[in-house]
Amino acid sequence: MTAPVRIAVAGLGTVGAAAVGILRSSRELVAARCGRPVDVVAVSARDRNRSRGVDLSGCAWYDDAAAMAAEADVEIVLELIGGEDGIARAVCERATAAGRHVVTANKALLAHRGRELALAAEETGAVIACEAAVAGGVPVVKALREGFAGNRISRVYGILNGTCNYILSTMRQTGRGFDEVLAEAQRLGYAEADPGFDIDGIDTAHKLAVLAAIAFGCEIDFSGIHVEGIRQVTADDIGYAEELGYRIKLLGIASDTGDGIEQRVHPCMVPVDAPLAHVEGVFNAVVAEGDAAGIGMLEGRGAGAGPTASAVVADVIDIVRGARLPLFTVPVSQLRPARTVPIDRRTGPYYVRLTVVDRPGVIADISAALRDEQVSVESLIQRARAPEDAVPVVLTLHETREDAVQRALARIAAIDMVVKPPCMIRMESP
């Protein structure tokens, strides 16, 4: 067996420590699968004195992770710090500039700086590998870039944020409201103290940007993504969804429309017999549609130290085995332009929940607003009776273009008897 592959680890949070743990405890297994042993020889983190439950003996310590990336005598640098800028970015830039391969779990960095990083890596022949950036332990990057390499992919979508899926699943299972379930998720460690990054859809959008670039071989275009989170989803919506034969999931969806790439993140109603409807709790799942393979779905643990470290180590093993793929499937010079299709042009069915004063004529006014925008109603539920009080009215709309729906909802919102802003959820039939 040849000399060990030398690795530096930047960031020793839960994922970094777990990656070091696997590489140390499974050293023989990794060596057998790579044909060479793999040794962690340098590490860097903020606090040298913190105990991390992992043996760092024999590792050179660097206070400055970027200096380590530039100087340490290693072949591969693991960037497990996170953040779209700052030290994480410096680590990746300096490692690739020095011709060292980078393995990163950093979707924010890739979503914002992916193009520059890919280009810089190509200049020195370094690899940037990012399986851990999307869907944790589930090998979705590999499935899209390699498993589906013989396909023109028309659509890739999925449940990419375990926090949101936990909240929506728990709301459905318990009938409780959003705020209460969020608070519980925070107590259980499934949601951050500042949950906006997850529940407002930003984390999902970062991951979707990476998936879309890999699936379509297109420029990464985070700013082109239409992003909505799950704060507006109520227990009522979840109940009505169930009644209509749907479940509500926060999906990231990227489609090659022929006209460009449509990328959007928002709550969706998914039919209960669709595989994605049964992906519950903190699990993630990604579906790809290829012209030859048809539909494929991958599901598993999308976050947590073990699953994310599993993906990091898989990338390390790939690189040691000789994998030298471009970050976004093809070299940067061959990436298609992003050409974002705006959400206005999304076409599909819609769910709308209105809060109206229970008074004769309100349905007629709503129906007129929909008719005026050529929007066709599929079903209408107005179950509660409470004359002169606010009651919910739930509509489902036949396949319509989004701009027409938006115009109709603006008209409806302006009706006196409609007492709250309309709530709209797109229905998807994956």
Question: Which residues contact a second copy (rule: CB under 8 A)?
Answer: 18, 22, 26, 29-30, 32-33, 131, 136-139, 142-143, 146-152, 217, 273, 275, 278-279, 290-301, 304, 306-307, 309-314, 316-318, 321-325, 329-330, 334
Exactly one of 107, 142, 207, 249 is catalytic; name it: 207
Amino acid residing at 148: F
The C-alpha atoms of residue 314 and residue 28 are separated, in whole angstroms, by 15
Q: Which is nearer to a second copy, 156 or 311 (CB)?
A: 311
In the three-class reduction of DSSP (H, G, I as helix; E, B as strand; rest coil), residue 241 is classed as: helix
142 is catalytic: no
CB of 378 vs a second copy, minimal distance in Å: 25
Which DSSP state fits 191?
S
The C-alpha atoms of residue 319 and residue 95 are separated, in whole angstroms, by 15
- 125, 144, 199 from 214: Cα distances, Å: 19, 7, 24
Q: Which is nearer to a second copy, 63 or 291 (CB)?
A: 291
- 171, 215, 252, 299 from 294: Cα distances, Å: 33, 14, 19, 17
In the three-class reduction of DSSP (H, G, I as helix; E, B as strand; rest coil), residue 393 is classed as: strand
Q: Which is nearer to a second copy, 199 or 309 (CB)?
A: 309
Taking the CA atoms of 275, 218, 104 and 14 in sequence, report the sign of the dihedral they define.
negative
Is residue 326 within 8 Å of residue 320, measured between CB atoms?
no
H or E stretch covering 206: helix 202-216
Lateral strand order in the sheet of 5-10:
60-62, 38-44, 5-10, 76-79, 101-104, 128-129
- 16, 25, 343, 373, 409 from 403: Cα distances, Å: 45, 56, 8, 9, 10
Q: Which is nearer to a second copy, 323 or 357 (CB)?
A: 323
CB of 95 vs a second copy, minimal distance in Å: 20
CB of 266 vs a second copy, minimal distance in Å: 24
Contacts of 97 by beta carbon, 8 Å cutoff, 6+ apart: 70, 120, 124
CB of 306 vs a second copy, minimal distance in Å: 5
Q: Which is nearer to a second copy, 45 or 314 (CB)?
A: 314
Q: Which is nearer to a second copy, 263 or 329 (CB)?
A: 329
H helices present in 26-63, as ranges: 27-34
H or E stretch covering 313: helix 305-321
CB of 53 vs a second copy, minimal distance in Å: 15
The C-alpha atoms of residue 363 and residue 85 are separated, in whole angstroms, by 51
CB of 27 vs a second copy, minimal distance in Å: 11
Two tokens, residue 393: 């009215």
CB of 256 vs a second copy, minimal distance in Å: 12
The C-alpha atoms of residue 202 and residue 256 are separated, in whole angstroms, by 21
Q: Which is nearer to a second copy, 62 or 328 (CB)?
A: 328
Which DSSP state fits 275?
G
CB of 60 vs a second copy, minimal distance in Å: 23
Q: Which is nearer to a second copy, 18 or 43 (CB)?
A: 18
Question: Mind telling me the catalytic residues?
Answer: 207
